[in-house]
Amino acid sequence: MPAIEVQAPDVESAIAQGLSQLNLIRAEVKIEILDEGSRGVFGIGSRPARVRLTPFAELAQPSATETASAAPESLVIAAPAEHSVQSSASVDNVPSQPAPEQTADEPSPKIEGEELARTLVEALLQRMGMRPSKATARSVFPANGQEEPYLWVEVALGKQEEALLLGHQREGLKALQAIAQVMWSHQTKSSARLNVDVNGRRQRREQQLTNMARRLAEKVIASGRAITLEPMPADERRIVHLALRDYAGVFTESIGEGESRKVQIKPRSQDASAARM
């Protein structure tokens, strides 16, 4: 998939349009700001912002020999850290993607309060002026046995309503989920977590992130160099950590602060070097 250049009134709009055209997420592309644009004076002399988006898959096209001699900008040599944080559940405390569905022959265990969770989310959306055409809730029991069970509430909304909830790093969806979590926990006295998804977008995004993490892990193993991803919200960092938790040859850690916090994928050899220091 080749790189593309996009123009828009501002940088963030240009990036958003480019990601939509490529059907990729921010963490899967290298972003170059070619021109930050200008509003001019009373509209006179204004010019659009211009960015170039290059999928990491495109950067990986050179052979392994070429990669070893000249790594792309997204590849950085990571110095051994004094305190490496292994890719574990404690790194970013948010729930992971749903476990596979139970088979027909197996009983489906349930967390008490499934129906209440669905009802609360549906009622909150209606108070926001949104009317989901469908809302379902199910209990998820992670197969790895290392995570606590949680509830997954899926709602179907129109495109305009979906855009309102998922715009700007899904802030609307996060707020909806946080309010539903407080109300549900208060009524059930349960500490189980509540996940809310809209039109299956969150689950598809998690699968994209998992696939991307594994592709990049293979690059790290082949080149022996660390890869630093673009800044991500906590729930997306969590998905990357979980995807590579048991991946042979690499380990992950979160670096940076606040909205600039990102995941770094490192060769396992660096982990061993740090341990000896």
Give tens-digit pLDDT for 101-150.
444 455 678 899 999 999 999 999 999 999 888 999 999 887 766 678 88
Contact 227, 216 (CB under 8 A): yes
User: Is 0.75 topped by the overall pTM?
Assistant: no
Tokens of 144: 């790895």
Residue 1 is predicted with a pLDDT of 66
Calpha distance 214→232 (Å, rounded): 17
Closest CA relative to residue 72, chosen from 87, 57, 84, 52: 57
pLDDT of residue 119: 93
Mean of per-residue pLDDT scores for the chain: 77
What share of the chain in percent tops pLDDT 90? 31
Q: Distance between CA 251 and CA 271 in Å, rounded?
A: 7
For residues 117 and 188, give the distance between their C-alpha atoms in angstroms, rounded to a whole number: 10
Structure tokens at 9: 């009134």
Whether the per-residue pLDDT at 85 is higher than 50: the answer is: no
Measure Cα distances from 60 to 193, 220, 244 in Å.
38, 11, 20
Mean pLDDT of 56-72: 46
Rounded Cα–Cα distance for residues 217 and 227 (Å):
8
Cα–Cα distance measured from residue 224 to residue 266, given in angstroms and rounded to the nearest whole number: 8
